[in-house]
Amino acid sequence: IMFFTFLLQVIWILAAFGDEHWTYEGPHGQHWPASFPECGGNAQSPINIETNSVTFDSDLPALRPHGYDQPGTEPLELHNNGHTVQLSLPPTLYLEGLPRKYVAVQLHLHWGERGSLMGSEHQINSKAAAAELHIVHYDSDSYNSVSEAVKSPQGLAVLGILIEVGETENPAYEHILSRLHEIRYKGQKTSVPPFSVKELLPPELAQFFRYNGSLTTPPCYQSVVWTVFSQKVQISVGQLEKLQETLLSREMEPAQVLEQTYRVPQPLNQRKVLASFNQDESPYTTGEMLSIGVGILVGSLCLVVVVYFIAKKIQKKKLEDEKSVGFTSVQATE
Ligand SMILES: *[C@@H]1O[C@H](CO)[C@@H](O)[C@H](O)[C@H]1NC(C)=O
């Protein structure tokens, strides 16, 4: 019996090593290249997007999500995989506006430490957001499955949505966040009724950054066409706390909260970051510009009128003063 338990232990240890274990922190840190060489490549994700250094590309086609607002009838599977919370997506959701047709596979989130407002993977001008949503797609024109596409350049297309904290609860994100307590332990799954994935995206899809990068977790394959939206979405502070505090990274006790699930920005190296919109453009719309112009005009007119009346009044007072001086002086000479 003792020999048998020993054998079981050996098998268990071997299995644990075979699992290609990785973590965001702790003794392993983010020193992933030692076990996953591609993580040390020169086109890794995420990156810090410096808006002064991006290239405006007027030829970038608009990104067109299809089926995102028609979630279908099949329930979606929500899964705690020990690294993140992941929602399966049906292939009826797909993207146009990229080199080929990319169909959806899954979405998942990245977030920071408990209480931290910095947990996104991508940064804009060295500023992280509170969290980040990734919607993963693969090139279904060229490949039969995501596992076939995952190693090939531009095999995957991922949408990156930066999440910040706002005043109100975001009902779309509640479809995921309100169910986290059902999948606290690693490996647990639950079914989520279909909902409009479109609502998870920012309203303004026309403004985005585009670059070639990688998976942000091991094995870090450099196979991703990235689209990071310029506009952020908002969730409430309570929702962020749910994300940061609910999930555990182990299958059993001792419990360890799954937090700080983001990779730090990687060197851009020789890569180009394209922008679908012109950064130099005024932040105001034409309507706003017009009302500002009218405002300035009316304001200046009012000022001219006021100055005119003040000047007139001063002149009148001066005249009266001169008159009275003249009068007294006349009186004095009499
Ligand atoms: C990404 O790589 C492809 C293939 O090399 C290239 O055609 C495309 O211009 C690159 N995209 C960007 C944004 O650099």
Contact 210 CB / ligand 1 (< 6 Å) = yes
CA-proximal residue: ligand 1, atom 5 (nearest) = 153
Which residues make Cβ contacts (< 8 Å) with residue 149, sequence separation at least 6?
Answer: 138, 139, 142, 143, 155, 156, 223
Residue 69 in this model has a pLDDT that exceeds 80: yes
* pLDDT for position 186: 96
Q: How far is CA 102 from the centre of its chain?
A: 20
Ligand 1 pocket test: pick from 154, 208, 211, 272 the residue with the most ligand atoms within 8 Å of its Cβ. 154
Contact 112, 253 (CB under 8 A): no
Please state, in angstroms and rounded to a whole number, the distance separating the CA atoms of residues 159 and 228.
6
Could you tell me which residues come within 8 angstroms of residue 145 by beta carbon, excluding any fewer than 6 positions away? Answer: 138
Residue 274 alpha carbon to ligand 1 centre in Å: 10
Residue 15 pLDDT > 50: no
Could you list the beta-strand ranges (E) of the chain: 48-49, 55-56, 64-66, 76-80, 85-88, 94-96, 102-111, 123-124, 127-128, 131-139, 156-165, 189-192, 208-213, 224-229, 233-235, 274-275
Q: What is the sign of the dihedral through the CA atoms of 168, 161, 261 and 193?
A: positive
Which pLDDT value is given to residue 314?
A: 81
Q: Is the CB of 57 under 6 A from ligand 1?
A: no
User: Residue 226 C-alpha to ligand 1 middle, in angstroms?
Assistant: 11
- What pLDDT does residue 296 have? 85
Residue 163, classed as helix, strand or coil, is strand
What is the structure's pLDDT at 21?
A: 81
Relative to the CA of 274, which ligand 1 atom is closest?
A: 13
User: Between 24 and 139, where is the model more confident?
Assistant: 139
Which of 45-59, 139-153, 156-170, 271-285 has the weakest average pLDDT?
271-285
- Regarding the beta carbon of 272 and ligand 1, being less than 6 Å apart is answered yes
In terms of pLDDT, which residue wins out, 292 or 13?
292
Whether 224 contacts 210, CB under 8 Å: no
Q: Which residues are catalytic?
A: 83
Residues paired with residue 111 on neighbouring β-strands, in sequence order: 131
Residue bearing tokens 């409430």: 236
pLDDT digits (tens, 9 = 90+) for 269-328: 999 999 999 976 556 666 777 887 888 899 889 899 888 888 888 888 777 766 655 554
Q: Is the CB of 212 under 6 A from ligand 1?
A: yes
The answer to pTM > 0.75 is: yes
**Angstrom distances, CA of residue 108 to CA of 40, 152, 182:** 23, 21, 16
Contact 166, 235 (CB under 8 A): yes
Instruction: Give the mean pLDDT of 124-148.
Output: 97
Q: What is the mean pLDDT of residues 10-27?
A: 58
Q: Is 211 in the pocket of ligand 1 (CB under 6 A)?
A: yes
pLDDT (tens digit per residue) in 76-108: 999 999 999 999 999 999 999 999 999 999 999
Q: 261 falls in which pLDDT band (50, 70, 90)?
A: very high
| pLDDT bucket at 8, cuts 50 / 70 / 90 | very low
- Binned at pLDDT 50, 70 and 90, residue 237 comes out as very high
Burial class (CB in 10 A: 0-12, 13-18, 19+), 192: middle
Minimum-distance ligand 1 atom for the alpha carbon of 99: 7
Q: Quick check: CB of 274 below 6 Å from ligand 1?
A: yes
What integer pLDDT is reported at residue 28 of this predicted model?
A: 52
Tell whether the model's pLDDT for residue 236 goes beyond 50: yes
Cα 67–Cα 45–Cα 170 angle in degrees, nearest 5: 45
- Determine the average pLDDT of the residues in 259-267: 95
User: Is the per-residue pLDDT at 18 higher than 50?
Assistant: no
Task: Report which protein residue has its CA nearest ligand 1's atom 6.
Answer: 212
What mean pLDDT comes out for the span 17-26? Answer: 68
d(CA 247, CA 185): 7
pLDDT given at position 289? 74
Output phi, psi for 234, to 5 deg.
-120, 140
Distance CA 191, CA 87 (A): 9
Per-residue confidence at 162, pLDDT binned at 50, 70, 90? very high
- Residue 211 Cα, ligand 1 centroid: separation in angstroms? 7
